[in-house]
């Protein structure tokens, strides 16, 4: 990619680590059960386990345009699974008595609240940067259809999502939509798309081909299977509310 992106996943992970450790060590000195070594091990273990749980709950994937409540729910689930795993490990190693139950309870309750709050604030910061054109993702749409045009206009009207539609690919000259060319470029045919996708020129590719082009769509997906670029399909029935879906 020619442009450089701020790694939102790296920032989210860093902030999550700081929150998890901060909430634990904030309460640990105020107890008679203060055990620095034990708290350090517990904190670092929580960071590792939460990172793994985050993979399963997909809290570090791109959440641009997705409901906040879904992200917050997944964060809470990831933390609960992390805490339960730590308790299970402490039970097996017979080290539960080394920790204050008051501190652990406070850690259990305060951590997800601060994780959600920090994620909300970070999303606001990223949305503001994207409105300024910073850290945007380059998007190409396959199929010069009204479905694709509607989707492109929706993305352009929501700059906080961080997607910039560069243009359209279509392999049939008779399908070139003059209305689309008023706003977006015709980037080439499917062969050009395959080459650019394999070269990593796009952050995301959306396929907006009509239903009757199923064979061409399957052929294209097969050709793009070795590309690292995420591919998304835009079925016609998603046109109206696509940005509110979890696709």
Residue 245 has a pLDDT of 47
Supply the pTM of this predicted model: 0.63
DSSP annotation of 188: E
Burial call 76-89: b when 16+ CB within 10 Å, e when fewer: bebbebbbebbeee
Q: Is-contact 169 140, C-beta < 8 A?
A: yes
Q: Is-contact 21 43, C-beta < 8 A?
A: yes
Ranges 81-85, 129-133, 161-165, 167-171, most confident? 81-85
Q: Of 127 and 190, which is predicted with more confidence?
A: 190
Structure tokens at 122: 């970070």
- Residue 239 CA to residue 245 CA, distance in Å, equals 10
Residue 16 has a pLDDT of 95
Q: Is-contact 236 148, C-beta < 8 A?
A: no
Would you tell me the crossing angle of helices 101-131 and 8-27 to the nearest 10 degrees?
150
pLDDT for 239 beyond 50: no
DSSP β-bridge partners for residue 140: 167, 205
- Residue 128 CA to residue 160 CA, distance in Å, equals 7
Residue 240 has a pLDDT of 45
Q: Of 159 and 221, which is predicted with more confidence?
A: 221
The tens digit of pLDDT for each residue in 155-202 reads 877 776 778 888 999 887 666 667 777 788 888 888 899 888 888 888
Structure tokens at 34: 């203060």
Q: What does pLDDT average to over the chain? A: 81
Q: Which of 28-37, 155-164, 203-212 has the lowest mean pLDDT?
A: 28-37
Q: Is-contact 192 169, C-beta < 8 A?
A: yes
Residue 70 — pLDDT band, cuts 50, 70, 90? confident
């Amino acid at each position: 990619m020619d442009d450089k992106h701020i790694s939102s996943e790296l920032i989210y992970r860093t902030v999550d680590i700081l929150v998890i450790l901060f909430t634990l060590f904030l309460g640990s000195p105020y107890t008679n059960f203060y055990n620095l070594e034990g708290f350090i091990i517990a904190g670092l273990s929580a960071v590792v386990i939460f990172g793994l749980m985050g993979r399963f709950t997909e809290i570090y994937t791109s959440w641009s345009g997705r409901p906040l409540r879904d992200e917050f729910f997944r964060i809470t689930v990831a933390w609960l699974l992390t805490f339960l795993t730590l308790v299970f490990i402490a039970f097996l190693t017979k080290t539960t008595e080394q920790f204050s139950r008051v501190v652990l309870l406070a850690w259990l309750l305060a951590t997800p609240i601060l994780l959600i709050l920090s994620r909300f604030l970070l999303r606001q910061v990223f949305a503001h940067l994207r409105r300024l054109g910073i850290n945007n993702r380059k998007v190409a749409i396959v199929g010069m259809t009204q479905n694709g045009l509607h989707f492109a206009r929706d993305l352009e009207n929501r700059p906080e999502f961080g997607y910039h539609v560069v243009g359209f690919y279509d392999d049939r000259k008779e399908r070139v939509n003059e209305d689309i060319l008023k706003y977006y470029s015709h980037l080439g045919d499917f062969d050009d798309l395959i080459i650019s996708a394999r070269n990593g020129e796009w952050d995301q590719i959306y396929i907006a081909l009509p239903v009757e082009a199923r064979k061409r769509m399957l052929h294209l997906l097969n050709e793009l299977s070795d590309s690292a670029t995420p591919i998304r399909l835009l079925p016609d029935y998603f046109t109206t509310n696509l940005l509110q879906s979890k696709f």
